[in-house]
Structure 1
Amino acid sequence: MYSETYSDADTAALYDLLNPWDGTRHRSDAFYNGLVMRADAVLDVGCGTGVMLHAARARGHAGRLVGLDPSTAMLDRARRRTDIEWVRGTAQDARWEREFDLATMASHAFQCLVGDDELRASLAAVRAALRDGGRFAFETRHPRARAWEEWNPSHARELVDGAGRAVRVWHEVVEVAGDVVTFTESVGRTDVGADVGADGGVLRVDRTRLRFLDVPALGDFLAEAGFTVEAQYGDWERGPVVAGSREIVTVARRV
């Protein structure tokens, strides 16, 4: 039976099904796994359900691991491991001072920093949390790849969620304004016909805004915040950023 609504807890559980962390299958996960395992103290900003830090601990990471996220439902799932510190808050809420060797924002979480003031405050807080020479690793979608053009109902995914419900998940772009894309993510039932947008089948709709910074703009924000770009890649195999790159993978160092 379907409930009338799809709760925050349901959505957090669905996120794990849609985005399983597996360094043997996903090069992006392997990239972050390597960085995390080589760092003594790690702050994962926008940690979500904590799967990256869970994987690090399971692989034998013996140092300090801290996950920061604004979502209570996501952190409730993260707290299934009690040997990691979990903190509720946004990037700009971070109040640590020189405590970490590495900070991360995986799974395109950096793109959730939409406004200039929010972005500057977040970068300042992340830099403050890092020890001298500490590194900040994150990725953003390259704006030239126009990833949002694939965010439409024709790319819907169907699966059985953690409660045994057959659901369909799809995205629809609402607006593209400069370098900010607004879109919705909908969860719907699969037993109401082929039209994924049928009102009777929609269980939940969430609205999100993401910022697509190009390389020069990103570099300006990092330099202003007191970072230098140590490495920048256009893919997870560490290839250069070129016109056809879909990602901008950045490793910046506190200076």
Structure 2
Amino acid sequence: MFSDADAAALYDLLNPWDPDGRSDERFYFPLVMGAESVLDVGCGTGALLQLARERGHRGRLVGLDPDRAALDRARRRGDVQWVEGTAAEAKSGDDFDLATMTGHAFQNLLTDLDVRASLAAIHGTLRNGGRFAFETRHPQARAWEGWTASNPDDVVEVVDATGRELRYWHDVDAVAGDIVTIRGTVAEPDGRVLRVFGESLRFLDVAKLNGFLVEAGFEIEDQYGDWNREPVTASSREIITIARRG
């Protein structure tokens, strides 16, 4: 009823890459355009690197993601290199100027082992002085409390390429320590469910996150609490980090 290819197409509908209109994408895009070589970890359907190429990036662009259906969609553009794999499988020694991990993809690293292995691999892909830019939701904001069908801001209605009307929303199944388990539901307007996606996300606080970064050999260059580059405070909703390979 709703295939993996449909899911990848829906992702693009829900997350159009728009650095002219969205503050998070406006943050990342100049970093990408200013780097000679870029590794986008968790690239999904590849929208960031595709747009970079369209807007004149002439250097090396590589997207890495474990989702084959998303990569199949990304590979419609052949002037970017697309690699199937997890963050922990990133190839060492590639000497990238910049690695990115957008869309809160960092929160899919659920265990200390996952985080350590992924940061070590990303560190290994960078040249000396290369930077890793990513974000994770600040746990103090408790973003998951708004992920419910009863919150109109969390219910999205779209029309796909075939003209099919779809509704998408989240429900929280469990909160255990710093792990939040959620469901994303795709349905027709009459409520008939087409597909349910399960996902778990980890919410690390600043101290623990920075400890992992330093342990992996990174120096924290900048850290912000919002997309306007304001400092992290007691009311911040994000932890946006630029870390440098030491």
Q: Determine the structure 2 residue equivalent to 1:250.
A: 241
Q: What is the alpha-carbon distance in structure 2 between the residues aligned to residue 26 and residue 80 of structure 1?
A: 24
Q: Determine the structure 2 residue equivalent to 1:65.
A: 61
Q: 1:21 aligns with which of 17, 21, 43?
A: 17
Q: Encode CA deviations 1:182-229: one digit per residue, 9 max, x unaligned.
A: 00001011124xxxxxxxx11100100100101000000001110010
Q: CA deviation at 1:77?
A: 1.0
Q: Determine the structure 1 residue equivalent to 2:162.
A: 163
- Ranges of 4+ aligned residues in structure 1 off by more than 4 Å: none
Task: Say if 2:96 is the partner of 1:103.
Answer: no
Q: Encode CA deviations 1:26-56: one digit per residue, 9 max, x unaligned.
A: 0111111110011101000000000000111
Q: What is the alpha-carbon distance in structure 2 between the residues aligned to residue 101 and residue 156 of structure 1?
A: 38
Which amino acid counterpart does residue 233 of structure 1 have in structure 2? Y
1:31-50 matches, cutoff 5 A: 31-50=27-46
Q: CA deviation at 1:59?
A: 1.0
Q: CA deviation at 1:117?
A: 0.5
Q: Determine the structure 1 residue equivalent to 2:230.
A: 239
Q: Secondary structure at the match of 1:97?
A: coil
Q: Secondary structure at the match of 2:124?
A: helix
Q: Determine the structure 2 residue equivalent to 1:142.
A: 138
Q: Secondary structure at the match of 1:39?
A: coil
Work out the percentage of aligned pairs sharing the same amino acid: 61
CA RMSD, Structure 1 to Structure 2 (Å): 0.8
Q: 2:52 aligns with which of 56, 59, 64?
A: 56
Q: Encode CA deviations 1:120-172: one digit per residue, 9 max, x unaligned.
A: 00000000000001000000011011000011012311121222111110100
Q: What is the alpha-carbon distance in structure 1 between the residues aligned to residue 103 and residue 181 of structure 2?
A: 17
**Unaligned residue ranges in structure 2 (runs of 5+):** none
Q: Determine the structure 2 residue equivalent to 1:204.
A: 195
Q: What is the alpha-carbon distance in structure 2 between the residues aligned to residue 58 and residue 158 of structure 1?
A: 28
Q: Secondary structure at the match of 2:161?
A: coil
TM-score (norm 1): 0.94
Q: What is the alpha-carbon distance in structure 2 between the residues aligned to residue 30 and residue 157 of structure 1?
A: 22
Q: What is the alpha-carbon distance in structure 1 between the residues aligned to residue 222 and residue 161 of structure 2?
A: 39
Which amino acid counterpart does residue 44 of structure 1 have in structure 2? D
1:167-186 matches, cutoff 5 A: 167-186=166-185
Task: Say if 2:113 is the partner of 1:122.
Answer: no
Q: Secondary structure at the match of 1:73?
A: helix
Q: Determine the structure 2 residue equivalent to 1:230.
A: 221
Task: Say if 2:178 is the partner of 1:191.
Answer: no
Would you say how many aligned residue pairs link Structure 1 and Structure 2? 243
Q: 1:152 aligns with which of 115, 128, 148?
A: 148
Q: What is the alpha-carbon distance in structure 2 between the residues aligned to residue 9 and residue 242 of structure 1?
A: 40
Q: Determine the structure 2 residue equivalent to 1:198.
A: none
